[in-house]
Structure 1
Amino acid sequence: ASTYMMVMMTLDRYIAICHPLKTLQQPTQRSYIMIISTWMCSLVLSTPQYFIFSLSEIKNGSDVYDCWAYFIEPWGAKAYITWITVGIFLVPVIILMMCYGFICHSIWKNIKYKKRKTMAGAASKNAIIGKNSVSSVTTISRAKLRTVKMTFVIVLAYIICWAPFFIVQMWSVWDENFQWADSENTAVTLSALLASLNSCCN
């Protein structure tokens, strides 16, 4: 849920910066739609885990249990890890990068317009660059820019912390020689710790 909540935060910043007029059109309804969409996506992506994971005793008679995944088919692990990597990491990262690409382009365009207007000295403060675009840099409030910067830092931390984890997970299921035991493969331990660090960053 946190991943797609971050995606919705970025989409909200994208709409506020690149399409400011749309923020005035039923903002409450749009917020509800975005929140419901976030939880629906999370529910769909989490459903397979209900059937795959179960508690099992680490050693017979130890009375210590851990949550493990069990796959009926040999290809089950590959399908599951690939599905999770695409749904929870790759797709959100692509959406985040596209949104910030448009945001940066919009801000750059308005900065360029402001410089041109200052040099010309004749452009109107209310001149409109294009449909649904911000007319000048002054219309992009400092509060919005601070929010964009904060969201960007959260997104960057997410990518840095989770990229190694998903790379190791994909490596583990597609490489037959991969050693799953944490003690035998430092990459597993480090990637898991780095992924957990993302919660601290948030």
Structure 2
Amino acid sequence: IFAWGMLFVLPETLFNWFDVSWNPYACYILYVYFSMVPFYVSTYAIVVLSIDRAYVILKPFASASKGKIYRYGMAMSSWMIGCILAIPYGVFGTYSEEEVYCLHEAPSLVMLYLDLCTIIIIPLMIISVCYIIIIIKLCERKRFEIILNKDSDDDCDIDVKHQATTKAKVRTIKLVCVVFFAYIICWSPITIAAIMIHHNLAQYGLWFVVLYMLAPLNSLVNPLVFLIFNQKMFRHKKKKGFNRTTFDAETQRVTLCS
């Protein structure tokens, strides 16, 4: 959300809505290039998260997935991909000092289908493969658990612990799935609308502006989805904090009375 606000919404608001004069540095660095980076970062963050979930399901006891280097590497990889994919927009940026405007002057058809591939098709394919792997692996484990339970009734504690871990993983997979569908709902309309306008199948109007503003809302939806899926955790922390405060107050009162 912070990246969207600072790199896309702020320049868009200042220069296009409040008519703040452009300068070459703000145009080429802030608007032409960096305003496009959050588009790709928000997309490939979901892709990276899906790859991570698939890796954890395939290798649940791998030590690499539990280290800080792995976690930071996964987070940084989406930013690296975003910075690389935004380079064409930086190359085709145009600034006019006389008319004081800044825009992307790329071959429209090429960039349109490039965006379609990099924002919709490629992420959809990678995420679909990840989920197919996850579903197959979970079904195999479920089948193995049923056979194991038939053969032996021992190790109940281990079985309960394993079920709790599996349930947590399934909840995380559901979360990523909801985030992915939210992404599709936010981004597909504007992509389809841009293709229709380019091929003269529809006319540009207010509806296109509404769809254009719908896409960045995806960065707002993701934290809300996380809060909905993890509300029990926040309730537990709030309750724990409240109990701690009550305990401190009671201790202080007893000390004063003594």
Is this a same-fold pair by TM over 0.5? yes
Q: Distance in 2 between matches of 1:88 and 1:98?
A: 16
CA RMSD of aligned residues (A): 3.0
Which of 206, 210, 214 is matched with 1:194 structurally? 214
Please tell me the residue identity of whatever aligns with 1:25: A
Q: Distance in 2 between matches of 1:150 and 1:124?
A: 33
Taking the TM superposition and a 5 Å limit, the aligned residue runs for 1:85-104 are 85-104=116-135
Q: Any conservation in 2 of the 1:53–1:70 contact (CA below 8 Å)?
A: yes
Please tell me the residue identity of whatever aligns with 1:47: I
Structure 2 counterpart of 1:133: none
Structure 2 counterpart of 1:34: 74
Structure 1 counterpart of 2:137: 106
Q: How many residues align?
A: 176
CA-to-partner distance for each residue in 1:4-39, whole Å, 9 max, x for gaps?
A: 1111111111111122133x1373333343233222
The answer on 1:68 being equivalent to 2:103 is yes
Which of 110, 114, 117 is matched with 1:83 structurally? 114
Q: Distance in 2 between matches of 1:83 and 1:151?
A: 25
Which of 22, 37, 52 is matched with 1:12 structurally? 52
Task: Give the superposition deviation at 1:68.
Answer: 3.4
Q: Any conservation in 1 of the 2:54–2:131 contact (CA below 8 Å)?
A: yes
The answer on 1:170 being equivalent to 2:195 is yes
Please tell me the residue identity of whatever aligns with 2:133: F
Check 1:107–1:66 CA distance in 2 against 1; reply closer, same or farther (3 A cut): farther
Q: Any conservation in 2 of the 1:161–1:197 contact (CA below 8 Å)?
A: yes
Structure 1 counterpart of 2:84: 44
The answer on 1:157 being equivalent to 2:152 is no
Q: Distance in 1 between matches of 2:164 and 2:137?
A: 12
CA-to-partner distance for each residue in 1:69-118, whole Å, 9 max, x for gaps?
A: 324xxxx1111111122112211111111111111121122222222333
Greater helix fraction, Structure 1 or Structure 2 = 2
Q: Distance in 1 between matches of 2:90 and 2:182?
A: 28
Structure 1 counterpart of 2:252: none
Structure 1 counterpart of 2:172: 147
Unaligned runs of 5+ in 1: 126-135
Structure 1 counterpart of 2:61: 21
Task: Give the superposition deviation at 1:145.
Answer: 2.4
CA-to-partner distance for each residue in 1:97-147, whole Å, 9 max, x for gaps?
A: 1111111121122222222333x233886xxxxxxxxxx963744332222
Larger Rg: 2
The answer on 1:181 being equivalent to 2:211 is no
Q: Distance in 2 between matches of 1:5 and 1:18?
A: 20
Structure 1 counterpart of 2:158: none
Q: Percent identity?
A: 26
What SS class does the counterpart of residue 204 from structure 2 fall into?
coil
- Name the TM-score, length of structure 2 as normaliser: 0.58
Taking the TM superposition and a 5 Å limit, the aligned residue runs for 1:125-140 are 138=163, 140=165
Q: Any conservation in 1 of the 2:47–2:126 contact (CA below 8 Å)?
A: yes
Q: Any conservation in 1 of the 2:197–2:204 contact (CA below 8 Å)?
A: no
Unaligned runs of 5+ in 2: 1-40, 156-160, 223-258
Q: Distance in 2 between matches of 1:12 and 1:168?
A: 32
Q: Relative contact order (C-alpha < 8 Å, sep 6+): which is higher? A: 1
Please tell me the residue identity of whatever aligns with 2:146: K
